């Protein structure tokens, strides 16, 4: 997969890897990925935004930049995923970036796009998989936390790590201040990780 992405960018010179970004909420990572995609030398174009939440604030960024979006109800995950697969195929999406997408994708969906789904997680994986990462890190008096971009595998937050950024937790940090500090790093790390995957 990685080699195919790379050859697409190199052979055409111009052709960018078509991406879809999945979000559930604020979408600050989506916003940073859109800005990244608009850079002249960016290897990606964002063609589709997917959300499980019609009220996700991040959907507005897609609207501002006229990127099409689709919202799917995950009450029936199988149906939602079927529709997503059809949209992704229609738009010839080659890379899926989960960016604050809070639903767990099925094993068969992940298998369908093996090596093509990336996720950003707000901890230094393998530490603190799952939810409430900042709170747990502070309660455990960790000196460091950070963020990780990894390939998505069928085990939650366990796929191969692409890049990580470590930050120091100060004794004054609260869950909120730590989340804010880590988000700033996430916005830099995700584009770097995408470049790395595409140039592998
Ligand atoms: C980010 O911190 C992201 O790492 C985290 O949700 C936040 C979304 O922020 N993702 C997860 O916890 C996934 N397990 P955003 O909507 O502003 O990008």
Query: Ligand 1: does its nearest atom lie under 6 Å from the Cβ of 26?
Result: yes
Nearest CA to ligand 1 atom 5: 100
Nearest CA to ligand 1 atom 6: 100
Nearest CA to ligand 1 atom 7: 100
What are 66's two structure tokens? 């006229």
**What is the domain-level CATH number for residue 137?**
3.40.50.170
**Catalytic one among 121, 134, 150, 187?**
121
**Ligand 1 centroid distance, CA of 42 (Å):** 22
CA 8 to chain centre: 21
pLDDT recorded at residue 106: 98
Q: Domains in the chain: how many in total? A: 1
pLDDT in tens, the chain (200 residues): 443 555 555 444 568 999 999 999 999 999 999 999 999 999 999 999 999 999 999 999 999 999 999 999 999 999 999 999 999 999 999 999 999 999 999 999 999 999 999 999 999 999 999 999 999 999 999 999 999 999 999 999 999 999 999 999 999 999 999 999 999 999 999 999 999 999 97
Query: Ligand 1: does its nearest atom lie under 6 Å from the Cβ of 33?
Result: no
SS3 content of the chain, % helix, strand, coil (to 5): 40, 20, 40
Is 121 noted as a catalytic residue in this protein? Answer: yes
Contact between residue 6 and residue 199 where contact means Cβ atoms under 8 Å apart: yes
Taking residue 107's Cβ as centre, other Cβ atoms within 10 Å add up to 11
> What is 160-171 written as a DSSP string?
PEEEEEEEEPPT
Burial (CB count within 10 angstroms: exposed 0-12, middle 13-18, buried 19+), residue 112? middle
Query: Ligand 1: does its nearest atom lie under 6 Å from the Cβ of 29?
Result: yes
Burial (CB count within 10 angstroms: exposed 0-12, middle 13-18, buried 19+), residue 84? buried
The domain of 31 spans 2-199
At 13-46, the pLDDT tens digits run 568 999 999 999 999 999 999 999 999 999 999 9
Burial (CB count within 10 angstroms: exposed 0-12, middle 13-18, buried 19+), residue 126? exposed
Query: Ligand 1: does its nearest atom lie under 6 Å from the Cβ of 58?
Result: yes
Q: Cα separation of 191 and 90, whole Å? A: 25
């Amino acid at each position: 997969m990685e080699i195919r992405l790379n050859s697409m960018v190199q052979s055409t010179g111009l052709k960018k890897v078509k991406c879809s970004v999945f979000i559930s909420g604020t979408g600050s990572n989506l916003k940073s990925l859109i800005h990244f995609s608009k850079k002249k030398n960016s290897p990606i174009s964002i063609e589709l935004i997917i959300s499980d939440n019609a009220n996700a604030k991040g959907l507005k960024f897609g609207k501002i930049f006229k990127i099409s979006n689709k919202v799917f109800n995950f009450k029936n995950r199988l149906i939602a995923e079927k529709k997503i697969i059809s949209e992704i195929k229609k738009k010839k999406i080659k890379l899926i970036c989960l960016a604050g997408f809070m639903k767990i994708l099925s094993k068969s969906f992940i298998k369908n796009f093996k090596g093509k789904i990336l996720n950003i997680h707000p901890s230094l994986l393998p530490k603190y998989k799952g939810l409430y990462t900042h709170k747990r890190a502070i309660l455990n008096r960790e000196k460091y936390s950070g963020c990780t971009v990894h390939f998505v595998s069928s085990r939650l937050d366990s796929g191969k790590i692409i890049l990580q950024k470590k930050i120091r937790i100060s004794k004054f940090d609260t869950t909120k201040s730590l989340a804010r500090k880590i988000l700033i790093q996430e916005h830099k790390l995700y584009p770097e990780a995408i470049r790395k995957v595409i140039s592998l």
